[in-house]
Amino acid sequence: MRHSLQKLLLSLCIGLLITTAWADEQAAAEEGLRISTERKVRDTGWGDTEASMTMVLRDARGRESRREMRTLTLEMPDDGDKALTIFDEPRDVRGSAFLTHTKTMVPDEQWLFLPAVNRVRRIVSRNKSGPFMGSEFAYEDLSSFELEKFRFRYLRSEALDGEDCYVVEQIPQDEFSGYSRMLVWIDKSHYRVQQIEYFDRRNSLLKTLTMHDYQLYKDKFWRPHRMEMVNAQNQKSTSLLVNEILFDRGLTDADFDQNALQRAR
């Protein structure tokens, strides 16, 4: 009788622990989604932009090369955003263009035009983890942030460079993503991303992106003017320096079709 009672109590304790752990995980998932949704909501309604940027690539020895580029973006209310990046300098990449149609429920569509071979190449899903134009940014890093593409889990709160932040785990839902997960630091004051750690498919830290020099546009939209991507595995890094951002450029869908790649100058 006593043995049976002990087994019953043990089963009840195990069941309580499992239920508590499940409830904790559910609460963490709901809080992670809430934070990420607020992040998305606060950056909705900006319309379209045109930005001029400098890309600085550094090898493991710190040697630098620079590229001048422009990026056009168009907000799509019922889907992921569209973006066209055009390289202006130096001469060996001049005229190269990269087009992204981010999707929410299906894989993104991406194309790269290289004037040296005068053809448009589609970036297939299984290759989107590859490096973008020799940088430490992957093709998939250049897609817009869409809630449907991830599962979320709130981990903790902590300070980062003087900013009180939420730390949220994002798990990609795309089987072809190059990442097993990301850790995202989102400040509590404006829900801006301050840092992202990317983990490879073996769950080892691959690289870290930090955002700096945020500026406010249209009294609502924050944009970082310096982004630093540092690869922890090969010691290379890439900086994206924003020279200027212009809003309300009158861009339309026609500026983001495949023909735009070859007429981009």
Q: Which residues partner with 100 through β-bridges?
A: 83, 110
Output the CATH code of domain 42-263: 2.50.20.10
Torsion region of 250: left, alpha or beta (phi above 0 gives left; psi -120 to 50 gives alpha):
left
Average pLDDT over residues 194-215: 97
Strand pairing report for 48-58 and 163-172:
unpaired
Domain boundaries, the chain: 42-263
Specify the pTM.
0.89
For the record, the structure tokens of 230 come out as 């540092």
Q: For residue 239, which phi and psi values (nearest 5 degrees)?
A: -110, 140
Which of 22-31, 71-80, 84-93, 107-116 is least confident?
A: 22-31
Q: Does pLDDT of 150 surpass 80?
A: yes
Residue 195: per-residue pLDDT: 98
Residues 4-23 pLDDT 10s: 666 666 666 666 556 666 56
**Which is more confidently placed, 125 or 186?**
186
**Would you tell me how many other CB atoms lie within 10 Å of the CB of residue 54?**
14
**Would you tell me how many other CB atoms lie within 10 Å of the CB of residue 189?**
9
**Which class for 46: exposed (0-12), middle (13-18), buried (19 or more C-beta within 10 A)?**
middle
Give the type of residue at 145. Answer: F
